[in-house]
Structure 1
Amino acid sequence: MLKAKAQRFVEWTLTHQAADGMIGPASNDDWWPRMVMVKALAQYQEATGDPRVLPVLTKYFKHQLVAMPGRPLKEWGRFRWQDEVLVIEWLHERTQDPDLLKLAALLKEQGYDWEASFVDFKYTEPGEMHKTPLETHGVNHGQALKVAAVQYRLSGDKSERASYYRQLGALDKYHGLPNGMFSCDEHLAGRSPSQGTELCTVVETMFSMEVALAVFGDVAIADRLEKIAFNALPGTFTDDMWAHQYDQQANQVQVGLNSKPWRTNGPESNLYGLEPNFGCCTANFHQGWPKFAASLWMRTADDGLVAALYSPCEVKTMVRETLVRVVEATEYPFRETVKLTVTPEKAVRFPLSLKVPAWAAGATVVVNGKAEGNVTAGEFVRIERTWEAGDVVELTLPMKPVATRWFNEAVAVERGPLVFSLDLQGHWVKLRERGLTADWQVFPGRQWNYGLDVSGLRVSEETVGPVPFAAANAPVKIHATGRRVNGWKPEDGVALPVPVSPVESSEPVEELVLIPYGAAKLRITAFPELKG
């Protein structure tokens, strides 16, 4: 049904191209919505092989090359030009049309210079956000994280890798949050875990990192992508995915009609619902999981395979003119083991590379019962051999709970790619019916203002169920102790900024059970640390 709905729009676009090459409705000549559509057409062509797509895109891009000098980029298009250049590169790989490279250069020339803006990053304080709104818009920054990778594909300039990390580093330093994201509600909003992050920014950041991972091939990018995918993405949906938030918070103590703490958004910003605050995330969040799944496996330049990200999956592909099937059996990110069964149609030699996360000290790789050497955390382990049907690769990635430092020296608890939170046992109250779904407020069912003792963290595991990111059946838990911090209170349904660590408390010691961030829909993730 969803495919049929989407196909209507694809068909109309492919069959209603203007004589001059323009696509889309004649009533709107903005380049930006067409940037979105050409990306969708490229992805549609990859999935279906529809032969009409390449000629339509070629004709449209030639029209744009002629028309853009007189009708330059503006507003959203000026800040999101890199997404179109990615499609232009995709088409150039297939057609080698030199005009495409001219258009890519023109888009960069007319577009906002993201890389220069991070050489001297000005937007370090939340109070500066309204002066130049499109420069501080969260989704723009999520999309801009692919600029360096897109540019590297054109220039081969090795400094582009440093440019990528410069962008991400500045966002982390001034706006980073424990869930792997940066704040943006709707503009960059600082490091307090009570500030929000827009769902559109989550999925656009994931896509940018998938592009950067494919281009630069760094384990650090893959690790960060998994952190976002396994925390920030599920953390903003209901268990059945029929409702989502516009803004999520790492410290989210109430979901309701609150005016705070949003910098520019409205009072419905963190409701769970059909289209809270604005409908863009309702349409856009669907790219999160499918594009992540499409990036689990990649190729090397010498026609090898790369397990770049981990999830249960099966891949079938041609490797050196031989059909190869790989079945990946795992309960990652909740468990430490990944088992790959490699079945080529006939014996074939090729390299298989496996990501070893930076956090996985002591990781091991075993092939058909024999341990591989040179397994180093933060690198890919490369296994080149002649593969035969039934070969088994077993990867063990030790996951130890660790405390990380955040705003006001607060501590968050992580294990492998997962971040853990105190679940506030929310009471769900229906605000309004919305056809097949509804809009919901959620109110805390327990106290939340704890200081945390991270000296004795203990892990327990339960069965991984059909809805793994569900609070009722969390597949892994971390046990800690804490004390109430009475001075840390809510204001208008929002947790005040986390007190500066360390904190003292004379309240009784309580056992606290932390569950995966994505399962805790009301949560505390960044805690003040108790003074030892």
Structure 2
Amino acid sequence: MVNVAMSLKYFGLYFELTGEDKYKILLENALKTLDLYHGQLHGMVSGDEWLAGTHPSQGTELCSIVEYMYSMETLLAVYGGSAFGDRLERVAFNALPAAISRDWFSHQYDQQVNQICSSKAKRNWTENNDEANLFGLEPHFGCCTANMHQGWPKFTSHLWMKDSQSYVCQSMVPCKVTTEKLTILVEGNYPFITGGTLKVKAKEAYTLKVRIPNWSKEVIFRKNNVQQHPIVREDYLLIEGDAGADVYTLFFVAEVKKEQRAQRAIGITYGSLIFSLPIKEEWKILKGNSPFYDWSVKPKSEWRYALSEKSTYSVHYHKQNEKQIFDSRHSPISIITSGWKIPNWKIHQNSADTPPYQVRSEERSELTLVPYGGAKLRISEFPTIDRSLLNN
């Protein structure tokens, strides 16, 4: 799978060399095929060494995540647009942090979209061994131990780009851009809050472009606290400014969406974030020397819940004081909804079995969903309950 993730850059690089449009068409066909047969909710393609299908308990290797991100960053530089920017953000804000422990001293070789435990055990991998699902120093093999560190720095280095006329913001993540002619300070809490502020100080006139995600229903745009009519060119908001200091505020209007998966299962998204039911975690040291331990993580709360097509969702924001923002215990955002406990969701080869297709239950509970990346044990693809049983 790592080779597949790396190879996607080929289409953009050959376009740069030849100028032939056929390479973008080939790229789009390749991505559609991968999504159809191996796509996972977190934006990646499955691959517990070999391509492994769409089942939410198949593994996705950490090396493939950072290489896929770098390919999307390269393609974004070549082609621009939200087709690649949205793919990059979904993987960066979900799959990448999910595979790494909160203190960054351990990681998983293979993560699962529906991950009910992390243990040394036989799973339905195409090839990887029984340790691949552990959090550890080098579970299964040490490649991810080296590669995991390139994910965030390369992503950060591609937040802003430059074309012949403009400074181009590809993701509204907080950062600072400094050139001889201007400085740009991006403030906010993106992607947890779907917008932010650009504080610009310039010595001369300038043009900015800010990528608008495809999930955004509307863009609310203000200059120096005065609402403006947004000028949009293709997938980018166009901002033209003069020498001096200005403050631009952008808000991408998002809504909770249900993403259809196999077997009538659904995933919940808000902006670029996937939302999961966090399972209470019990971490146990298996071996190693401080701080580089190998850990198993056992579930300490119920995980067998279904959602309904009638379910409503309310988004809540929380004050966040911790340095590690990807942590289900104190997430800056959560979604409250109703779920139904189901008895017939089984465990197969130490993983959650396929989300049941025919689901019936009368045991309703309030569920709090949190961003996928902060929940080390989680359910992210939910069965849908037979709505004929629901009165409200």
Q: TM-score range by the shorter chain?
A: over 0.9
Q: Does 1:154 align with 2:17?
A: yes
The 3-state SS of whatever aligns with 1:242 is: coil
Q: Does 1:338 align with 2:199?
A: no
| Residue in structure 2 matching 1:359, options 207, 212, 215 | 215
Q: Distance in 2 between matches of 1:499 and 1:369?
A: 50
Residue in structure 2 matched with residue 475 of structure 1 by the alignment: 332
In the TM superposition, what are the counterparts of 1:417-456 in structure 2 within 5 Å?
A: 417-454=272-309, 455-456=311-312
1:452/1:481 contact within 8 Å kept: yes
Q: Distance in 2 between matches of 1:378 and 1:231?
A: 26
Which has the larger displacement, 145-154 or 401-410?
401-410
Letter in 2 for 1:372: Q
The 3-state SS of whatever aligns with 1:397 is: strand
In the TM superposition, what are the counterparts of 1:478-493 in structure 2 within 5 Å?
A: 478-493=335-350
Residue in structure 1 matched with residue 390 of structure 2 by the alignment: none
Residue in structure 1 matched with residue 163 of structure 2 by the alignment: 300
The 3-state SS of whatever aligns with 1:431 is: strand
Shift of 1:279: 0.2
| Residue in structure 1 matching 2:136, options 245, 262, 273 | 273
Partner deviation per Cα, 1:197-225 (whole Å, 9 max, x = no partner): 00000000000000000000111211110
Shift of 1:355: 1.0
Letter in 1 for 2:334: K
In the TM superposition, what are the counterparts of 1:39-78 in structure 2 within 5 Å?
A: none
The structure-2 alpha-carbon separation of the partners of 1:378 and 1:181, relative to structure 1 and needing over 3 Å to count, comes to farther
Residue in structure 1 matched with residue 77 of structure 2 by the alignment: 214
Shift of 1:169: 1.0
1:342/1:392 contact within 8 Å kept: yes
Which structure has more RCO (C-alpha within 8 Å, separation ≥ 6)? Answer: 2
2:106/2:294 contact within 8 Å kept: yes
Partner deviation per Cα, 1:281-300 (whole Å, 9 max, x = no partner): 00011110000000000001
The structure-2 alpha-carbon separation of the partners of 1:406 and 1:377, relative to structure 1 and needing over 3 Å to count, comes to farther
Q: Unaligned regions of 5+ residues in structure 2, if any?
A: 388-392
The 3-state SS of whatever aligns with 2:91 is: helix
Q: Distance in 2 between matches of 1:301 and 1:172?
A: 33
Which has the larger displacement, 483-492 or 177-186?
483-492
Shift of 1:435: 4.3
Q: Does 1:515 align with 2:370?
A: yes
| Residue in structure 2 matching 1:393, options 244, 248, 258 | 248
Q: Distance in 2 between matches of 1:430 and 1:179?
A: 28
Q: Distance in 1 between matches of 2:104 and 2:97?
A: 9
Q: Distance in 1 between matches of 2:328 and 2:30?
A: 34
2:286/2:295 contact within 8 Å kept: yes
Partner deviation per Cα, 1:343-369 (whole Å, 9 max, x = no partner): 12x2x1222101111111121122223
Shift of 1:374: 4.3
Residue in structure 1 matched with residue 106 of structure 2 by the alignment: 243
Which has the larger displacement, 157-166 or 372-381?
372-381
Shift of 1:160: 1.8
Shift of 1:516: 0.4
* Bigger-Rg structure (1/2): 1
Q: Unaligned regions of 5+ residues in structure 1, if any?
A: 1-137
Residue in structure 2 matched with residue 369 of structure 1 by the alignment: 225
Shift of 1:226: 0.6
Q: Distance in 2 between matches of 1:259 and 1:459?
A: 38
Residue in structure 2 matched with residue 169 of structure 1 by the alignment: 32
Residue in structure 1 matched with residue 5 of structure 2 by the alignment: 142
Shift of 1:335: 0.7
Residue in structure 1 matched with residue 120 of structure 2 by the alignment: 257
Letter in 2 for 1:425: K
Q: Distance in 2 between matches of 1:262 and 1:464?
A: 37
The 3-state SS of whatever aligns with 1:453 is: coil
Q: Distance in 1 between matches of 2:55 and 2:167?
A: 40
Residue in structure 2 matched with residue 53 of structure 1 by the alignment: none
In the TM superposition, what are the counterparts of 1:162-201 in structure 2 within 5 Å?
A: 162-201=25-64
The 3-state SS of whatever aligns with 1:505 is: coil
Letter in 2 for 1:241: W
The structure-2 alpha-carbon separation of the partners of 1:384 and 1:413, relative to structure 1 and needing over 3 Å to count, comes to same
Q: Distance in 2 between matches of 1:241 and 1:389?
A: 41
1:359/1:378 contact within 8 Å kept: no
Residue in structure 2 matched with residue 283 of structure 1 by the alignment: 146
The 3-state SS of whatever aligns with 2:253 is: coil
Shift of 1:173: 0.5
2:81/2:211 contact within 8 Å kept: no
Q: Distance in 2 between matches of 1:378 and 1:169?
A: 22
Residue in structure 2 matched with residue 309 of structure 1 by the alignment: 171
Letter in 1 for 2:253: P
Letter in 2 for 1:383: I
Letter in 2 for 1:396: F
**TM-score, normalised relative to structure 1:** 0.71
Partner deviation per Cα, 1:358-417 (whole Å, 9 max, x = no partner): 11112112222343334569710112232x332111101122111111122210000001
More helix by share: 1
Letter in 1 for 2:314: R
Partner deviation per Cα, 1:43-92 (whole Å, 9 max, x = no partner): xxxxxxxxxxxxxxxxxxxxxxxxxxxxxxxxxxxxxxxxxxxxxxxxxx
Q: Distance in 2 between matches of 1:393 and 1:334?
A: 19
Shift of 1:152: 0.8
1:239/1:470 contact within 8 Å kept: yes
**TM-score, normalised relative to structure 2:** 0.95
Letter in 1 for 2:195: T
Shift of 1:484: 1.9
The 3-state SS of whatever aligns with 1:245 is: coil
The structure-2 alpha-carbon separation of the partners of 1:266 and 1:447, relative to structure 1 and needing over 3 Å to count, comes to same
Partner deviation per Cα, 1:495-526 (whole Å, 9 max, x = no partner): 111123xx432341011111100010000000
Partner deviation per Cα, 1:139-187 (whole Å, 9 max, x = no partner): 0110011111110110111222222211111110000111111100011
Q: Distance in 2 between matches of 1:409 and 1:148?
A: 34
